[in-house]
């Protein structure tokens, strides 16, 4: 959510940003919110004047009563009663206008970084850099669920009977590999100075609306029936929510944390052939990283965060590349975003395994996450998040890049301590 003051003073800049995101239907909202905001401020000004007059008259009444001028005091009381009725009307009007302004401001997209390429959708995202040499082996790479099934590592049929499509049973060495990757990712991030955290897996509705846009919320979140609780789609939701309604001393920044959680997603919409198996599912586990920092430091942290994911995948000898999301592919709260994509030898192309986002002060403004500097000045923090690793999707890249000609799966050296010293799955 952008600053209403910025919108008032720069309406054309806000409109141009909307055009860059190809959301022209939202253009009238800018003028609408300016009119509503002017009405709200006018009502507030009148209300403030009435409150000041009320305080002044109250002192006059006290003085008159002290002088024994009861009749004059009673006349003043009638004046106060009339003003009180008008004040109640103004406060009601002000609250209604405030709600309308807020609802519109929640829909107007955040101002994107000037460096973001302009494009309609993900087909116009831009490759930034590749890391590692993509290899296509001479032998055929089976589909990832076939690789797992050959080592008795997955049971999708049983999961369908128990929970339906989009769920799975991982078993044996594949289940152990899944846990090993998460444990390695946890220690990898701790080694880079991040504080490890296990957050709540459910959050209140006001936190949901604070961390994501309404279209994202509708497409992703599962609501607990009869309660103001939602299952998290990523631990970023509860990790950023941790700082709701807080005033953070500037000296305590940055807050850089890495969190583990299961994630739950509706995954609405049709999915293509390559989203069968465990690529796009309703339940998975993930290691995440989040940062709360000073505004001037968020570009630096953005670079560090996506680089962490690249470095982790390269430590597992998996080729990756970074993709910059174009304007039309950015969610409304995001200022800038990179996807990290891993190489698929079977498909002979890259696919997404992580996403890094700088949200500026959008989440902080919604959740009232403020910072106080040494001089007592207050401002909204900037928030960022990035995927460290999200198995089992990451397992697809791992299995394809470590499959051997004899059907065994090589375990990279860095993972062996988490696999009891095991060097391969066969």
Q: Are residues 247 and 393 in the same domain?
A: yes
Domain boundary among 105, 131, 162: 105
Burial class (CB in 10 A: 0-12, 13-18, 19+), 60: middle
pLDDT for position 215: 75
Residue 303's DSSP bridge partners are: none
Strand ranges in 245-348 using DSSP code E only, listed in sequence order: 246-249, 255-264, 283-293, 320-324, 336-344
Asked whether the beta carbons of 116 and 326 are under 8 A apart, the reply is yes
Measured CA to CA, the distance from residue 166 to residue 248 in angstroms comes to 40
Let me know whether 247 and 386 are in one domain: yes
Q: CA 151 from chain center: how many Å?
A: 36
Q: How far apart are CA 412 and CA 410, in angstroms?
A: 6
Domain end call among 79, 105, 131: 105
Q: Do the beta carbons of residue 199 and residue 285 sit within 8 Å?
A: no
Q: Is residue 116 a part of any domain in this protein?
A: no
Q: In this structure, are 315 and 352 located in the same domain?
A: yes
- For the chain, the domain total comes to 2
Q: Assess contact for 158 and 352: CB atoms under 8 A.
A: no
Q: How many residues does the chain have?
A: 426
pLDDT value of residue 48: 83
Q: Where are the beta strands (DSSP E) in 374-416?
A: 378-380, 382-389, 409-410
Check residue 1 and give its pLDDT.
Answer: 82
| Axis crossing angle, helix 11-20 with helix 27-66, rounded to the nearest 10 | 140
Same domain, 306 and 167: yes
Phi then psi dihedrals of residue 321, to 5 deg:
-145, 160
The residue among 44, 75, 105 that closes a domain is 105
Confidence (pLDDT) at 339: 97
* Pair 368, 311 in one domain: yes
Evaluate whether residue 244 is within a structural domain: yes
One domain for residues 278 and 225:
yes
CATH of the domain at 43: 1.10.287.40
The answer to whether position 115 is within a domain reads no
Instruction: Find, among 386, 317, 383, 402, the residue nearest to 352 by Cα.
Output: 386
Residue 261 falls within a domain, yes or no? yes
Position 83 in a domain: yes
If DSSP codes are grouped into helix, strand and coil, which group holds residue 351?
Answer: strand
The answer on 78 and 206 residing in a single domain is no
Query: Are 287 and 260 found together in one domain?
Result: yes
- Whether residues 98 and 243 share a domain: the answer is no
* 268 in any annotated domain: yes
Domain with residue 204: its CATH number is 3.30.930.10
- Give pLDDT, residue 88: 84
Distance, CA of 134 to CA of 319 (rounded, Å): 6
Q: Which residue carries 């998040």 as its tokens?
A: 385
| List of the chain residues with pLDDT < 50 | 270, 272-274
Clarify whether residues 69 and 133 are in a common domain. no
Tell whether 322 and 365 lie within a shared domain: yes
Asked if residue 113 is part of any domain, the answer here is: no
Is residue 292 in some structural domain? yes
* Whether residues 93 and 126 fall in one domain: no
DSSP, collapsed to helix, strand or coil, labels residue 371 as: strand
Q: Which domain holds residue 46?
A: 4-105
| Per-residue pLDDT, 64 | 64
CB proximity list for 39: less than 8 A, separation 6 or greater:
93, 97
């Amino acid at each position: 959510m952008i600053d209403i003051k910025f919108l008032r003073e720069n309406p054309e800049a806000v409109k141009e940003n909307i055009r860059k995101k190809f959301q022209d239907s939202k253009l009238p909202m800018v003028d609408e919110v300016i009119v509503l905001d002017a009405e709200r401020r006018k009502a507030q000004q009148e209300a403030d004047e009435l409150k000041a007059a009320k305080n002044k008259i109250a002192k006059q009444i006290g003085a008159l009563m002290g002088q024994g001028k009861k009749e004059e005091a009673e006349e003043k009381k009638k004046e106060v009663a009339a003003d009180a009725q008008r004040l109640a009307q103004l406060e009601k009007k002000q609250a209604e206008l405030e709600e309308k302004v807020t609802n519109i401001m929640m829909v107007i997209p955040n101002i994107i970084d000037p460096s973001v390429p302009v494009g309609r959708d993900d087909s116009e995202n831009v490759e930034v850099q590749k890391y590692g040499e993509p290899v296509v082996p001479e032998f055929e790479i089976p589909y990832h669920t076939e690789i797992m099934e050959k080592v008795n590592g997955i049971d999708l049929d049983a999961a369908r009977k128990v929970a339906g499509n989009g769920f799975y049973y991982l078993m044996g060495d594949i289940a152990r590999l899944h846990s090993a990757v998460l444990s390695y990712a946890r220690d990898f991030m701790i080694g880079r100075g991040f504080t490890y955290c296990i957050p709540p897996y459910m959050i209140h509705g006001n936190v949901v609306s604070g961390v994501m846009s309404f279209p994202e919320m509708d497409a992703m979140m599962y609501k607990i029936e009869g309660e103001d609780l939602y299952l998290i789609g990523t631990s970023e939701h509860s990790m950023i929510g941790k700082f709701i309604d807080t005033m953070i001393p500037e000296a305590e920044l940055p807050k850089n944390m890495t969190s583990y959680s299961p994630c739950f997603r509706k995954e609405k919409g049709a999915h293509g052939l390559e989203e069968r198996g465990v690529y796009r599912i309703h339940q998975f586990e993930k290691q995440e990283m989040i940062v709360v920092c000073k505004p001037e430091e968020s570009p630096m942290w953005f670079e560090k965060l996506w680089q962490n994911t690249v470095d982790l995948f390269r430590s597992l000898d998996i080729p990756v590349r970074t993709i910059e999301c174009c304007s039309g592919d950015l969610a409304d709260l995001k200022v800038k975003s990179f996807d990290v994509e891993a190489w698929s030898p079977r498909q002979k192309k890259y696919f997404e395994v992580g996403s890094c986002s700088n949200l500026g002060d959008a989440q902080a403004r919604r959740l009232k996450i403020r910072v106080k500097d040494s001089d007592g000045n207050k401002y909204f923090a900037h928030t960022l998040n990035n995927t460290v690793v999200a198995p089992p999707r990451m397992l697809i890249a791992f299995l394809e890049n470590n499959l051997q000609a004899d059907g065994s799966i090589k375990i990279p050296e860095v993972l062996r301590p988490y696999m009891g010293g095991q060097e391969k799955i066969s």
